[in-house]
Amino acid sequence: LQVSQKPPVVQKLFAWAQRVGADVSKCAEENKKPGAFLKLRHKLAYALVFKKLQEALGGRIRWICAAGAPISRDIVNFFNAAGIFILEGYGLSEVCGGATLSNLNDFSPGSVGRFLPGFEYRIAEDGEILIRGDMLFKGYYRMEEETREAFDEEGYFKTGDIGVIDERGLLYITDRKKDLLITAGGKNVAPQKIETLFKKNPLFAQVVVVGDRKKYLTALINLNLEIAEKNARENGIQFGAPAELADNHQFLRLVDKFIEDINSQLARYETIKKYTVLKNEFSQETGELTVSLKVKRNVVQEKYKNVIDTMYIE
């Protein structure tokens, strides 16, 4: 947000540094040495942009761990280019801590790394990650039925997370099983994947993808009003208060273009066919967000049921 409020020349410099950072991070990911020209560009980008990040964090940090929620590849690349490698990991209370972790010599942005020694694992037919090992908990205290349901017949713990393992053995978390949408056509859709694409654009503050047992997917959207106001002014769109942009036809045509770009990155059954920009922001006080600011999908879908139903009127 701070960069978006800077003069155009600063914004262009930042965007250039991001591109350089992505190239440098890609080389590190593939264990390749950057070419002479890329080294030169990175040295310049570091002096002008990335060094400030290093200094802001003390100047001596080599790596930091990230877990608990997906992190944008753009953010990972940016930190990597600043010499601060983000190592992503995955774990649960039921496995007494971490189950996977990336390392400096073997990582891929978006992956939570390989399973740690001592774990057995597999991916179920529905995509759920199953884990077995001596570090697993014995069960939920005084909850025998819940404990039985938490394990399969071979003793694997059902994590409730959906994931895939690539040819290198790296694990990628795509969604929570309880959040998985199954369309009327029988397609399994991970809403988090789509919502993450939206979040790459700072215009979108919150997005909830809807479509379980429906013919197509729709979305409920909260705008970042500061970014919305900036975009509107840059495109010569007339408005009064920023909140009015939620139903400003000219502005919504701009939103249409952003969503078209997002849809171009998705399979046909994953694309957003209709959306509604909500005037009310999600918050803890109004019940849509948890203490950790995660969206309560059930609450949102119940609260905006009429809005959702309208998007499915053919």
The predicted-structure confidence for 247-259, as pLDDT tens digits, reads as follows 999 999 999 999 9
Question: Is pTM beyond 0.85 here?
Answer: no
Q: Kindly report, residue by residue over 191-205, the tens digit of the pLDDT.
A: 988 999 999 899 999
Rounded Cα distance, 287 and 292, in Å: 12
Q: Are 49 and 14 in contact (CB under 8 A)?
A: yes
For the chain, list the domains and their CATH numbers: 3-81 (no CATH), 85-176 (2.30.38.10), 180-311 (3.30.300.30)
Closest by alpha carbon to 207, among 112, 306, 79, 294?
A: 294
What is the per-residue pLDDT across 135-173, written as a single tens digit (0 to 9) for each? Answer: 999 999 999 999 999 999 999 999 999 999 999 899 999
Q: What is the pLDDT of residue 69?
A: 75
pLDDT at 208 over 90: yes
Quote the CA–CA distance of 309 and 311 in Å, as a whole number.
Answer: 5
| H/E run at residue 148 | helix 144-150
Return d(Cα 172, Cα 163) in angstroms, integer.
5
pLDDT band of 266, cuts 50, 70, 90: very high
